[in-house]
Structures are given as C-alpha cells and as structure tokens.
Amino acid sequence: MIVRQTKPTSALIVVHESPIHGRGVFAARRIAAGKRIIEYLGERIAPVEGEKRYDDDGVDHPHVLLFTVDEHTVIDGGSGGNEAIYINHSCEPNCEAVDDDGRIYIEALRDIKAGEELTYDYQLERPGRYLASWKERYRCRCGAPTCRGTMLAPRNGKSAD
C-alpha cells in the first residue's frame, strides 16, 4: 500500500545539495520546536521484501530508504516517497521521527532557523554482531562535536567499532 502525503510541505522545506551528504532538506523559513514538519511516505511492505529490494551488504554505501514502523511493516521511501527521504542523519539532530499510530512524522526538536538543514538520528539497526566493515558502510558525516562516527544505533552504550 502506498500512502500519499495529504498536506503540501513546500512552504516549510526545500531540497538541495547538502554539506552532510548528497541532497538534504532545509528549512524554507523558521520552524518552531515541536512543529510536525513532514510525514515519511512510501510503500508499506514487509521487512523481508525490504531486504530483497535493498541489499545493504551488496553495496559500499547503502541508501537508507526503509523506515521501520514495527516488526511487520517498513516504509519504502524509494517507492512513492516524498522529500522526507532526503533528510540526513546527524548525531546531534534538530528533528526526531515520531510514530503516530503507525504513521511516521518528522518533528522539530528545537527551533530551526531558515536555511538550516533538517536532520534526525537514523539509529539504524542490523541483526547480529556489529561487523568492522559496517563502520565505513554506515559512516556518519554529520560533523557534530559529539559524532559517534556511525548512523548505527548504539548497542549497550557502544557504537559499531
């Protein structure tokens, strides 16, 4: 099932080249803390189907387009998605992903200035033990002073080293 966005976001955001990575999403005007900015849209599929579509181990730099909703559902932003797929990861994000009854929204954690890039912590998870090769594959480029060096979620307080 593909969920289409019901409310245009063009008044809040713009997509263009990012100093973090590839393209990014930027505030077109000031966004207040707590503001719901955009819904992460795309085709809702089973995690097994997502694994078939995106082989993270088969590429050096995987594209992060799947958003986990629960153990039965992921959203494939690469299929019917919107501008939310261009929001980059940061270890010191200005936004967060919020699950509202199975729908994923990106909301501002703090006031965001016009022109500022929107980011959230991807907290990616991979099954099994973290492999040394994942450090480069999921390398973080956020540049934050507290950067943990990876987009992977810490396990027991440790990142993928």
pLDDT higher for 87 or 58?
87
- Do the beta carbons of residue 124 and residue 153 sit within 8 Å? yes
The reported pLDDT for the residue numbered 11 is: 84
Rounded Cα gap, residues 66 and 50, in angstroms: 7
- Work out whether the CA dihedral 22, 68, 6, 110 comes out positive or negative: negative
Check residue 63 and report its DSSP letter.
Answer: -
pTM for the whole thing? 0.84
Residue 19 buriedness (CB in 10 A; 0-12 / 13-18 / 19+):
exposed
The reported pLDDT for the residue numbered 60 is: 52
The reported pLDDT for the residue numbered 138 is: 83
The reported pLDDT for the residue numbered 16 is: 94
Q: Is 119 left (phi over 0), alpha (psi -120 to 50) or beta?
A: beta
pLDDT digits (tens, 9 = 90+) for 89-134: 999 999 999 999 999 999 999 999 999 999 999 988 777 777 777 7
Name the helix (H) or strand (E) containing 51: helix 47-53
pLDDT digits (tens, 9 = 90+) for 29-68: 999 999 999 999 999 999 999 888 876 555 555 557 889 9
Name the architecture of domain 13-122.
Beta Complex (2.170)
Q: Phi and psi of 158, rounded to 5°?
A: -120, 145
The reported pLDDT for the residue numbered 161 is: 47
Residue type, 89: H
Residue 22 buriedness (CB in 10 A; 0-12 / 13-18 / 19+):
exposed
